[in-house]
Amino acid sequence: MAGLIAARVLSEFFEKVTIVERDNLQNNNLPRRGVPQGRHAHGILASGTEILTDLFPDLEKELVKSGAVYADVLNDGRWYFEGACLRRSATGRPGVMASRPLLESTVRRQVQNVDNIDFVTGRSIRELAFDGQAVKGVITEGGIIGANLTIDATGRGSKTPEWLRSIGLPSPAEERVEVQLKYTTRFFKRRSNDLDGDTIVLIPPTPEGKRGGVALAQEDRSWVVTLFGHFGHGAPEDLDGFIAYAKGLPVNDIYELIRDAEPVGEPATIRFPASVRRRYEKLKTFPDAFLVFGDAICSFNPIYGQGMSVAALQGLALKTELTNGYDNLARRFFNRAGNVIDTPWSVAVGTDLRMPETVGKRTFGVKLINWYMAKLHRCGHNDAEAARAFIKVAQLQEGPETLFRPSIVRRVFSHELRSRVGRENGITSARISTAS
């Protein structure tokens, strides 16, 4: 996805763009070897949707034609935090939900339609062609493919750090936050009365339970259901074990959805040990005519669904910096991409640090934000404005500072006060509420 986005941006600035891909790409919507995460739930955030539809105006139309589901993330979704569901309301920007293979192949077809972009597939990049100062292209088993600008978008397994060391240059400092996540996914047939018509369920893991799950309505009238667990937890693949795991989640919605649903296809499991951020923006020396992009810079704990949208935001950063010319491009791009990554990284890492097993600095700021977020979520059970403010940050449409606007802080603390008075008077609110 990052490579496709980068190529689309480059096509506005260069005569010819070549995408080199190791897999033999078939024009179908099936998972492929180079993207094993494609078998698991993949949501695109509102921020990513907006950028992708700017880059590819026909994208949503094409996705819907292929059966993707149009949904408003808050109005059609059940987001469970602090034991109850966020208050439902329209966010004003519905988006499409599709499997990763359908989304990727639809984006790819749009890229294939761009006249000056070519694909070289079934060719693995072995090394970068380097003349001692600048990268001149890539070396594949089939020979050198030359370029005036080369971008590494080979994902989390990017070999750029090793390669930099091999040519005697420093490699980027790496931040690693262990999350020890296990993802298990199954697809089920969707029935018209499932979840009373809702199309999204998100049950994040609690620091104590460490288990969560997500269900998203997809093309082919199916549900993708991904169950996950941290630090030794995780769902088995067999159907009975999978359903039993869903029953053990803090909320029953996914269990109710799948307990007598018809399974489709084979289950899949993937492990994600750690979020990794490579600090290219801090390097003092870096080869000319070369950039790194997407997961190759930073790959996040996937439960926050940020990766593709952050790649799209990096696409905007690339466009801005190319508009400013080619001098010093790497430094300018990495600085801008670093700014783009700061928010989703702090959201993901800050939330992961709620788990005692997560290794990382629990600064006063992180503890304060997590304390406040729990109160915000509780307020959001009844307060549509608080719920929407949170969703806009989670969807990377607004910065986290917006959650500290006086109007939101006032709502959060007056809700806290009312609940405390209610508790003291013996009034308890419904633990689980999906009221709109």
- Per CB under 6 A, residues contacting ligand FAD are 1-3, 20-23, 34-35, 37, 40-44, 124-125, 153-156, 183, 270, 272, 294-296, 302, 305-309, 311
For ligand FAD, which is the closer residue by CB, 84 or 347? 347
Q: At what angle do helices 46-55 and 2-10 cross, to 10 degrees?
A: 40
CB of 390 to ligand FAD, least distance (A): 18
3-state secondary structure labels for all residues of 288-355:
ECEEECHHHCEECCHHHCCHHHHHHHHHHHHHHHHHCCCCCHHHHHHHHHHHHHHHHHHHHHHHHCCC
CB 236 within 8 A of CB 184: yes
For ligand FAD, which is the closer residue by CB, 314 or 419? 314
For ligand FAD, which is the closer residue by CB, 43 or 95? 43
DSSP helix/strand/coil, 102: helix
**Residue 173 per-residue DSSP state:** P
For ligand FAD, which is the closer residue by CB, 45 or 373? 45
For ligand FAD, which is the closer residue by CB, 262 or 266? 266
CB of 218 to ligand FAD, least distance (A): 12
CB of 125 to ligand FAD, least distance (A): 4
User: At 84, which helix (H) or strand (E)?
Assistant: strand 84-85
CB 129 within 8 A of CB 289: no
How many H helices and E strands in the chain? 12, 17
CB of 363 to ligand FAD, least distance (A): 26
104-133 b/e with 16+ CB inside 10 Å = b? bbbbbebbeebeebebeeebebeebebeee
Query: Quick count: other Cβ atoms within 10 Å of Cβ 197?
Result: 9
CB of 181 to ligand FAD, least distance (A): 8
144-153 b/e with 16+ CB inside 10 Å = b? ebebebbbbb
CB 309 within 8 A of CB 45: yes
For ligand FAD, which is the closer residue by CB, 306 or 419? 306
CB of 262 to ligand FAD, least distance (A): 24
Torsion-angle region of 416 (φ positive above 0: left; ψ -120 to 50: alpha; else: beta): alpha
Give the residue from 14, 4, 2 showing the smallest Cα distance to 329. Answer: 14
Residues 6+ apart with CB under 8 A from 319: 9, 12
For ligand FAD, which is the closer residue by CB, 306 or 434? 306
CB of 298 to ligand FAD, least distance (A): 9
For ligand FAD, which is the closer residue by CB, 2 or 393? 2
CB of 325 to ligand FAD, least distance (A): 25
Give the residue from 334, 349, 335, 333 showing the smallest Cα distance to 299. Answer: 349
For ligand FAD, which is the closer residue by CB, 155 or 380? 155
CB of 67 to ligand FAD, least distance (A): 18
CB of 6 to ligand FAD, least distance (A): 9
For ligand FAD, which is the closer residue by CB, 21 or 82? 21
